[in-house]
Amino acid sequence: MALKHIKNKIKSTQRTSKVTKAMEAVSAVKMRKSQERALDGRPYAEAALRILGRVSRTLDAKNHPLAAEGNGHRQCIIVVTSDKGLAGSLNSAVLKEVTLTLSKVQKEDVDLVCFGRKAYDHFTRRGYTVIDHHVNISDEVALDDVTTVVRSITERFAAGKYRTVSIAYQSFVSTFEQDALVRQVLPLEPELLEIMVRDIVPKTGKYSSQEKRLDTSVYSVEPNARTVLDIIFPQLVQIMVYHALLESKASEHSARMVAMKNATDKAKELTASLTLQFNKERQTMITAEVSEITGGIEAMKT
């Protein structure tokens, strides 16, 4: 390989390394903020889901439109991904889980709601029905970002259009670990909610100690059970979707920071390898030139 070509590759790799290093720094800042928001939201989500589990058992909520299995044959899946790539296998893991779920049903029996451009592009290219999509969601996710979507889905479910509603997202475990999950949202079932509550705070790792128990054991129900459930059920569905978006944002920036760090490290390794190759090639060239000069001198002597 020509020395000029190797030198150009070294310069190109070094430029790429500077870009990935800058992206790593930006992602690290966003990661810390998104992790804090996700962790701060966990006690509220956990307490709310615990309340729902208790209320559901206490007040016999099985006949509520949002707790009873829908009469429809269609399914709705809310898919949460990022708008951009460069985040390792973050998006592909979620899309893989959703694709596995979709393989069990007919394409025409599924409606999708996509948060993130990656999910929207992926499923529209494959001919799936995307009834709603949202891109460019702010890192500072707000409840208002999911209010309209949740209202539309709960109304459709209560009207009997859907048999089930699920959500697919990346659950944040730690900076280096995220889990792609598909969770049932509707119908609301106490058993499934208990599983979700247990999974909100990881069993091991740095963030396993961040759990803050809120006392939800003492409360009264007024004016009557049905009125309370009509208010609390849609709100809890909203909390579940909101929680998924918070977790996904934390997972996204964590995965991107790690991916950029790995890219920077690989660029440094490649630069070192190319530099060694450059030095070897140059040494070989110098040795050859010295040999030619020496040979010429010897030839002149004879």
**What separation in angstroms does the CA of 295 have from each of 69, 281, 302?**
92, 21, 11
* Boundaries of every domain in the chain: 24-256
Torsion of CA 147, 113, 44, 96, to 10 degrees: -170
**pLDDT tens per residue across all 302 residues of the chain:** 678 888 888 888 888 888 888 888 888 888 777 777 777 766 776 777 677 666 666 556 677 788 877 777 889 999 999 988 888 888 999 999 999 999 888 888 899 999 999 999 999 999 999 999 998 888 778 788 888 899 999 999 988 899 999 999 998 888 888 888 898 888 887 677 666 666 655 544 454 554 455 455 556 667 776 777 788 788 888 888 888 888 888 888 888 888 888 888 888 899 888 888 888 888 888 887 777 777 777 777 76
Give the pLDDT score at 56.
Answer: 63
**What separation in angstroms does the CA of 16 have from each of 7, 43, 185?**
14, 41, 43
Give the pLDDT score at 198.
Answer: 63
Give the pLDDT score at 200.
Answer: 59
What is the spatial distance between Cα 17 and Cα 86, in angstroms, rounded to a whole number? 14
Rounded to two decimals, what is the model's pTM? Answer: 0.78
Give the pLDDT score at 172.
Answer: 82
Give the pLDDT score at 197.
Answer: 62
Give the pLDDT score at 112.
Answer: 94
Q: Give me 33's structure tokens.
A: 């903020």
Q: Give me 111's structure tokens.
A: 């409606």
Q: Residue 129: name the closest of 157, 110, 114, 148 by CA.
A: 110
**Backbone region of residue 205 per phi and psi (left: phi > 0; alpha: psi in -120 to 50; beta: other values):** left
Beta strands in the chain (DSSP E): 74-80, 110-115, 129-134, 162-174, 177-186
Give the pLDDT score at 115.
Answer: 93
Do 252 and 141 meet the contact criterion of CB atoms below 8 Å apart? no
Burial 107-143 (b: 16+ CB within 10 A, else e): eeebbbbbbbbbbbebbeeeebeeebbbeebeeebee
Q: Does domain 24-256 have CATH number 3.40.1380.10?
A: yes
